[in-house]
Amino acid sequence: MRKNNLFHWTPDRSAFPTIGPDGKPDIDLDSHKLVKIWHGPNHPGVTGNMSLELTISGDEVVESKTHVGYLHRGFEKLYERRTWIQCFPTVVRMCVPESDSNEYNLSAGIEELAGIEIPEMATWIRTLVLEMSRLQALLRIVPAQAGTLGLGLGVQWGVYLRDLILDRFEELTGGRIYHMYMIPGGVRGLLPDGFKDRLEENLKLVDEFALNLKRLMLDNAVFKKRTIGTAYIPPEWVDKYGIVGFVSRAAGVMKDVRKDYPYLAYDQLDFEPAMSTDSDIYARTWIRWQDMISSVDLLRQIMAKMPTKGEFKAPTPNVLHWEVPKGEVYVRSESTRGEYGFYIVSDGTKYPRRINLRGPSYTHAVSLLEKMLVNANISDIAAIMVSLQTCPPEIER
């Protein structure tokens, strides 16, 4: 009987694929030792509309290429033909799960170019809104880390609580996902009567949820076995790959715009971003779980410290004919995923010359993820992606 080499099991997996003289794997699909599969764009384990072109040897990834563009709406191009204020309805859509960072950055950029100082009340309300936004995003994504490994219960709890925060957004701004509440000069209105009490009721439920989620996910033996030591990021990669936010903090490198470049009322709040040196999926989950608790604490501090009355918007020129002074600026804020920046160029006309978004996923989901997935097991891919909290819309804008 002829021996079938194709099905001969080789314990030494390092033999596949062979490494060429240039140090790269020799990807010969005709060898029948490698398989090419697409992970996404429609896949429950993908964070949004992106896909990974994977070359697999057995169950190990040999090469990964990130493909984006499935949600490209050409926003940055459209801004060339819109007045500054007309950019707001679309700018929030540049990152769906956390839209408020976009409107804050654009407002702050315009204000800086035009030399407008916003009232104290607006400063505090903006801080409140940004923290509410952080909390609702974390309520969705932190339990989703367990969801990628088959533990979906926490996701259901998180979605319910996120909806309660979205209720608060709805009564404050009129919108649940996209708010367009921050506008150049300040915000669109004050807090409704009884808002703080209703938010406090929601926060109590989040406190309870955080403890339950710890028991369900962070103390879970299977979750620990799958995530501890998986997808390690060395700290020296932080600058090399432009890593920011919680991914950087999990690797032991402190990066948090709220501390590094204090904006709004963050310098008046008492908080310390969580840090770790383990830099694996578990550490990145633990940090975001801590961020969620920290966000609840910050919301309570903001509600206690914010003024009860005052102007919520500084006067601005008529927004329909506003010619923002010539100049360029880079403004940043801390999103749940890390530093979120806008590079804005004005040529002194009614229309922006250039608005460029630099989101954390631009590097986390492309150069970093492509590197991290090499030698990863295919069953860990979804967990690795969610551990970086990649958000495709901010890559393709």
Residues that bind another protein (CB under 8 A): 68-69, 72, 74, 76-78, 80-81, 112, 239-242, 255, 260-261, 327-330, 339, 341, 343, 345, 353-354, 356, 358, 362-363, 366-368, 371, 396
Provide, rounded to whole angstroms, the least separation between the CB of residue 103 and another protein.
20
CA–chain centroid gap for 350, Å, is 31
Provide, rounded to whole angstroms, the least separation between the CB of residue 117 and another protein.
13
Closest to 341 (Cα-Cα) out of 324, 356, 319: 356
Quick one: 53 or 311, whose CB is closer to another protein? Answer: 53
**Are the CB atoms for 217 and 151 separated by under 8 Å?**
yes
Q: Is 139 helix (H, G, I), strand (E, B) or coil?
A: helix
Residues 6+ apart with CB under 8 A from 235: 251, 252, 253, 277, 279
> How many CB atoms lie under 10 A from the CB of residue 293?
17
Provide, rounded to whole angstroms, the least separation between the CB of residue 291 and another protein.
20
Provide, rounded to whole angstroms, the least separation between the CB of residue 200 and another protein.
34
Quick one: 140 or 358, whose CB is closer to another protein? Answer: 358
Quick one: 72 or 313, whose CB is closer to another protein? Answer: 72
Helix (H) or strand (E) holding 231: none
Quick one: 98 or 396, whose CB is closer to another protein? Answer: 396
Provide, rounded to whole angstroms, the least separation between the CB of residue 31 and another protein.
23
Quick one: 184 or 338, whose CB is closer to another protein? Answer: 338
Quick one: 65 or 215, whose CB is closer to another protein? Answer: 65
Quick one: 40 or 341, whose CB is closer to another protein? Answer: 341
End-to-end CA distance of the chain: 59
Q: Could you identify the residue written with the tokens 């309520």?
A: 139
Residues 6+ apart with CB under 8 A from 21: none
* Whole-angstrom distance, CA of residue 177 vs CA of residue 30: 48
Closest to 199 (Cα-Cα) out of 289, 136, 288, 141: 136
* Whole-angstrom distance, CA of residue 361 vs CA of residue 368: 9
Quick one: 250 or 368, whose CB is closer to another protein? Answer: 368
Provide, rounded to whole angstroms, the least separation between the CB of residue 217 and another protein.
31
Provide, rounded to whole angstroms, the least separation between the CB of residue 74 and another protein.
7
Full DSSP string of 68-121 = --TT---HHHHGGGS-TGGGHHHHGGGSSTTTHHHHHHHHHHHHHHHT----HH
**Are the CB atoms for 365 and 67 separated by under 8 Å?**
no
**Are the CB atoms for 390 and 91 separated by under 8 Å?**
no
Quick one: 223 or 342, whose CB is closer to another protein? Answer: 342
Quick one: 163 or 347, whose CB is closer to another protein? Answer: 347
* Whole-angstrom distance, CA of residue 138 vs CA of residue 115: 34
Provide, rounded to whole angstroms, the least separation between the CB of residue 7 and another protein.
35
CA angle, 96 as apex, 93 and 98 as ends, to 5°? 110
Provide, rounded to whole angstroms, the least separation between the CB of residue 397 and another protein.
9
Provide, rounded to whole angstroms, the least separation between the CB of residue 153 and another protein.
36
**Are the CB atoms for 352 and 107 separated by under 8 Å?**
no
